[in-house]
Structure 1
C-alpha cells in the first residue's frame, strides 16, 4: 500500500502558483511589496516588478538568459573602480541618464533654463578651487589654447554671486587624468566661484572626443549591438548656487565628427557650440548657465 506522502506527490498545494498563471505570480510579488513603508520606494518597486515580469513574458526569457543577465549586472559592479564607474556608464549608453536629466528639468527648460546633461563616470570629488582666469591645463599639457568665459544667472536673468562652477574635461588625447598616468593629478579640472556679476572664466586646451571605456561588460554590450563607442569633444560643468537646483551639463564641439551621434545620447541641440577661433591659434567659448530656483542637492560623485 502506498504511503500518504507518496499519494500526495504532485498534488497541487492550496495557494500554490501555476506556471500557466503568471498573473497570479505577479499579484503575489506585488502583495509582498505592499508593506514597504517608504511610499516612493513602494511606487518604484511596484513599477519595476510589473515591467520586469512583462519583459520576461514578452521575450519569453529563458532561465539561461536570466543567469546571463544577472552575471552581466554582477560584472558591472566588479568592473567599477577608481578609473571608471561601469554602472553609470550602463545608464549612459542606454539613454537612461539623459532621459532622467531632461525629465527632471522640464519646468526649467520651459522658462529658458540651460539644458542638463549627464554627469558621467569621471567627475571627481575635491577638485581644486582655482582663481578665475587660471589655467586648468597644467604644465606640459599639449593642445590648442581655449578660453572659457561664462555667467551664472537665475531663470529671470539675475546674476548669481559666489556660485560654485565645477568643470572637467578630457585631454586632447581623449583621456581624463585619472585614466592617464602621464597627466598630473587633477589636470584639466577646476572649481571657480562667480564674481558680483555672476561671471567666471578659465583657460584650458581644446578637448578631443574619445571612446567610452570598452574593457568591461558595457563594452561587450556595445559590441553586441554593433554600436559606435565615441563621445564628441566636450566640457563638463556642475553649477551650485544657494537657493537653486544644481545644474549638471556639458557643452560640445559642434565641429566634432561625432557631434550628432554621441554614444550616450547627451549631445542635445542647444549644448552643441562652436569653439570660436581667436586669431592667435586658440579658441574661445562663451557660456550662459541659467539655474532654476529650488532645493540644492548635489548628484552622487562617482570618483574620489
Structure 2
C-alpha cells in the first residue's frame, strides 16, 4: 500500500474490500468504490470543492429530524427514489404504476366508512373520489384497503399546520371492489427548500414544486401493495415535478359537477369535482 497514486489507489481499495465476508456487502462496497472513484476522476474536484461537498452532506444529515428527512429529499430530487421504486416495482401489463411514497404518510390515520368526508372542517372545493380495485385478471378485490391522503387547497398537509388529522383516511372496498369518499381539492406545493437540498435546487436553476396529486396506498390479500399518486391534467408542474414522480398513466382530470344529487346520493348545494380512477393490483411476489 506504499506509493499509491491516482492510477493505482482504486485497485488497492478494491483489493482490501475483496476480503469482505458477506457477498452482498462486498458487491455493494465494490460498486460504490468503482463509481465514486470514477466520478472523482471525471470531475477532478479542487480541495475546496471536495470540502464543500463534505460540508453539504454534513448539513443534509444535520437537517434530519423526527419530522424531516433531508436525505430522502436529496434522494427524491436527484431521481434516485424513483429509480429505486422502478427497479423494485416491475409491474405486469395492465397493473397500475407506482410512484414515490412521500414524506407525509402517518400510521395514525382514521378508518372511515365508504362515503365519509375525510376533510370535515377544512375549506376548499368539495371533491368526490371514487373508483374500483381489481387484480390483473379483472377480478374485483372485495375488502381491499384504500389509504388516501393529500394537501389542502393551499398546498399544506395536515401534519404541517394542524393538530388534528384531516384529508387522510383508510377505507375498505365493498364486495364489488368499489370505493368512494369526499374530500377537498388539493393544490401543487413546494417541497421543504429551506435547507441544503433547497440550496442545491437553486444552484441548479430548478424550482421546488410538486404538481397537484392525491396519494393512494391500496392493499388486498394475495396482491402486492400499491403505493401511487393520481395527478391532475393541466397542472403547471406536471412536466417538471421536482421528484420526477409523474407517469402518464397516473394523470387524469376532474369532472366539474353542478349543484344537485351526487353519485352517492348526497344533495350538493354547491358545485363540486368528481375524481374517478380505477386501480389494478399485481400479484404478490412469492419468495
**What is the TM-score with the length of structure 1 in the denominator?**
0.85
Specify the SS of the correspondent of 1:265.
Answer: coil
Distance 2:211 2:97 in 1: 17
Partner of 1:97: 81
Unaligned runs of 5+ in 2: 260-270
Partner of 2:284: 294
* 1:160 maps to 2:108: no
Contact 1:246 / 1:296 at 8 angstroms: preserved in 2?
A: no
Match among 114, 117, 126 for residue 135 of structure 1:
117
Partner of 2:47: 63
Which is greater in Rg? Answer: 1
Partner of 1:264: 243
Unaligned runs of 5+ in 1: 1-14, 298-304
Distance 1:16 1:186 in 2: 61
1:222-301 to structure 2, matched below 5 A, reads 222-280=201-259, 281-295=271-285
TM-fit CA distance, 1:39 = 2.9
TM-fit CA distance, 1:295 = 4.2
Distance 1:117 1:231 in 2: 13
Q: Runs in 1 of length 4+ with deviation above 6 angstroms?
A: none
Partner of 2:36: 52
* 1:188 maps to 2:164: no
Contact 2:153 / 2:185 at 8 angstroms: preserved in 1?
A: yes
Distance 1:134 1:287 in 2: 18
Distance 2:188 2:137 in 1: 34
Specify the SS of the correspondent of 2:131.
Answer: strand
**What is the TM-score with the length of structure 2 in the denominator?**
0.89
Contact 2:91 / 2:97 at 8 angstroms: preserved in 1?
A: no
Distance 1:268 1:17 in 2: 51
**Partner deviation per Cα, 1:254-287 (whole Å, 9 max, x = no partner):** 1222222211111221111101112231111111
Distance 2:188 2:154 in 1: 8
| Farther off after superposition, 151-160 or 203-212 | 151-160
TM-fit CA distance, 1:76 = 1.8
RMSD of aligned alpha carbons: 1.9
**Partner deviation per Cα, 1:176-199 (whole Å, 9 max, x = no partner):** 11111xx34211111112222222
* 1:208 maps to 2:164: no
